[in-house]
Amino acid sequence: MQDSNRRDFLKLSAWLTGVCFAAPAIARSRRSPNDRLRVAVVGLRQRGWRLAQNIHELGADNVELAGLCDVDETVLNRAVDHCEKLSGQKVRTFIDLRDVLDDQSIDAVFLATPDHWHALGTIWACQAGKDVYVEKPACHNIFEGRKMVEAARKYNRIVQHGTQSRSNSTMREGIEKLREGVIGEIYMARGICYKWRESIGRVKEEPVPPGVHYDLWVGPAPMKPFSKLRFHYNWHFLWDYGTGEIGNQGAHQLDIARWGLGLDSHPGKIQSMGGLFVHKDDQQTPNTQIASYRYEGRNLLLQFDVRHWITNRDACIGDTFASRGERNNVGVIFYGSEGFMLMPGYTSYYTFLGQKRKPGPKAVSPGKSPGQFASHCQLYSGRAQSQALRPDSRH
């Protein structure tokens, strides 16, 4: 990809995850239709479909949705129909990611696959000369993440990880307030994810549905008989494919917490305890979990809590202060020597100072207010930040 195209990829992926670069400004940087960035989206349920919509919203003068890829032909065909209605043009389709990567006309791929495909898909794309936007979590484990960084450096590719939040102006303002000492010396941050989740049930093996290319879906994971429980969405809660709630939702809140604490290193001590409570089903990842990270050189503590059933609200997040839906309680709390700060969801912050917890500085992004909840698309496509794994970056 030419340098100008690589710059435009950064602009595009940042816009898609939250930095709303104006399309006309990007258009002015182009002198020829040949400079148009050609993007393929891989994985078309939920996030992948939202990304495809966002590409259309950016404008055909700047970026072209050059391909759609999914191993479920029903999902793929539905996305194609929607895209053709949006653009009035046919979009090339793929079932196998490898065919996307073999297409020399495609500049970049957006990976919205299950977690177990993120690392391998990213590495293959780098080897094929494509830049990458990969949804959270970046990988299934630390080893995979290091190999992704190595690939980005070796093949001189841009790899952006969609942890989402850092481009929202209100969130940045809140972090700056922390830097200025609004709550004094920070000693702890705590991410919370209390989501009302029903039981996922039991694995029931059954024939592979027509149009589902199950071998491609399994990919690098162990091959096991098909089950709807292992397929759409509930794969999040099975170790072969997902990372549980700490990798699903926690990728966001842990990123915000590390950002606010100014951390760019690994903790010296980690402890995590949890398990499966209440539900009697085949979920493998914890539905109740407490993870703690001690940064001894900085004398800081980071904690992340998961609860999947009946629980209290924490610090009024979800009641007084907007969170992720009426039944959910998601956010970050920063604790300091002079007060504490709440960051519910991704679009606001509130401070409470002194022993009497007197309200201090606060801000809510335009169009968002306590008790007002946005759609999945609004929360993610308009309020996010991703991190570029440049060849010279350190992660």
Could you read off the pLDDT of 97-147 as tens digits, one per residue?
A: 999 999 999 999 999 999 999 999 999 999 999 999 999 999 998 999 999
Tell me the C-alpha distance between 292 and 302, whole Å.
Answer: 6
Whether the upstream peptide bond of residue 137 has omega within 30° of 0, thus cis, is yes
Task: Give the residues of the chain that fall short of pLDDT 50.
Answer: 1-2, 15-33, 368-395
**Which string of DSSP letters, residue by residue, matches 186-233?**
EEEEEEEEE----------B-PPPTTB-HHHHHTTSPP---BGGGSTT
CB atoms within 10 A of CB 311: 14
What burial class does residue 86 get, using C-beta atoms within 10 Å of its C-beta: 0-12 exposed, 13-18 middle, 19+ buried? middle
User: How many angstroms separate the CA atoms of 291 and 271, rounded?
Assistant: 6
CB atoms within 10 A of CB 153: 16
pLDDT at 387: 37
Interval 205-251: pLDDT, tens: 999 999 999 999 999 999 999 999 999 999 999 999 999 999 999 99
pTM check: above 0.85: no
Please give the domain boundaries of the chain with CATH numbers for all domains.
3-162 (3.40.50.720), 169-200+237-374 (3.30.360.10)
**Which distant-in-sequence residues (6+ apart) come within 8 Å of 363 by Cβ?**
170, 173, 174, 348, 349
Name residue 128's amino acid.
A
Question: What pLDDT is recorded for position 324?
Answer: 57
> How high is the pLDDT of residue 8?
54
* Rounded Cα–Cα distance for residues 106 and 129 (Å): 9
d(C-alpha 390, C-alpha 395), whole Å? 10
Q: Which of 149, 158, 159, 165 is nearest to 394 (CA)?
A: 149
